[in-house]
């Protein structure tokens, strides 16, 4: 047996081992990329939908009868007619610490009121489940993804 044939025979499993190691690294990179990009796109979409809901809610004259319920109804309609309406309810939660999509706060020192709309996904780990490999947990997502739009209006 020549030296060249002996060298080939001793290298038989090397390619399989290298492939397995590189596949794990490639898979980690791909999963991490998808795991971080998807929530960022969702966050951008939540901001856009909350801005659209705020624009629609601004059409209601301030001080009109049942103002709070009317703006909440309009904001809810905009949210449910967006692509979020076809998703499970967890994808269009109310933000933590709030009781409804819309918020109305007064700023007496400025003589203005602030109207806000907030949409959240309070369980982002259900979108892309985190994976643990070699002691690394990825993707590491925040506790909630929230899109908020706010405008201050003078009385």
Which residue ranges make up each domain of the chain? 3-154
Q: How far apart are alpha carbons 115 and 54 in whole angstroms?
A: 8
Quick check: 119 and 22 in contact, CB under 8 A?
A: no
For residues 148-152, average pLDDT: 92
Per-residue three-class SS string for 119-140: EEECCHHHCCCCEEECCEEECC
Residue found under tokens 């319920």: 69
| Spatial CA neighbour of 134 closest among 32, 34, 33, 38 | 32
Question: Would you state the pLDDT for residue 154?
Answer: 73
Q: Which tokens sit at 24?
A: 């794990």
- pLDDT more than 70, % of the chain: 88
Residues 46, 88, 37, 139: is their CA dihedral positive or negative? Answer: positive
Quick check: 115 and 150 in contact, CB under 8 A?
A: yes
Question: Would you state the pLDDT for residue 61?
Answer: 87
7-17 residue pLDDT tens: 566 666 788 88
Residue found under tokens 């309609």: 77
CB atoms within 10 A of CB 42: 17
Q: pTM for the full model?
A: 0.78
26-81 residue pLDDT tens: 988 898 888 889 889 999 999 999 999 999 999 998 778 898 999 999 999 999 99
Q: Between 67-81 and 14-57, two packed helices, what is the crossing angle to 10 degrees?
A: 150
């Amino acid at each position: 047996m020549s030296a060249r044939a002996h060298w080939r025979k001793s290298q038989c499993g090397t390619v399989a081992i290298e492939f397995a190691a590189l596949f794990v690294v490639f898979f980690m990179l791909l999963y991490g990329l998808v795991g971080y990009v998807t929530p960022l796109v969702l966050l951008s979409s939540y901001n856009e939908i909350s801005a659209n809901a705020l624009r629609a809610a601004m059409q209601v004259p301030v001080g009109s009868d049942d103002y709070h319920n009317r703006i909440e109804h309009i904001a809810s309609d905009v949210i449910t007619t967006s692509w979020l309406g076809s998703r499970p309810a967890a994808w269009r939660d109310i933000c933590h610490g709030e009781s409804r999509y819309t918020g109305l706060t007064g700023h007496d020192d400025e003589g203005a009121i602030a109207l806000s709309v907030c949409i959240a996904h309070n369980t982002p780990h259900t979108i892309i489940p985190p994976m643990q490999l070699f002691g690394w947990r990825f993707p590491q997502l925040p506790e909630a993804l929230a899109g908020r739009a706010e405008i201050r209006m003078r009385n």
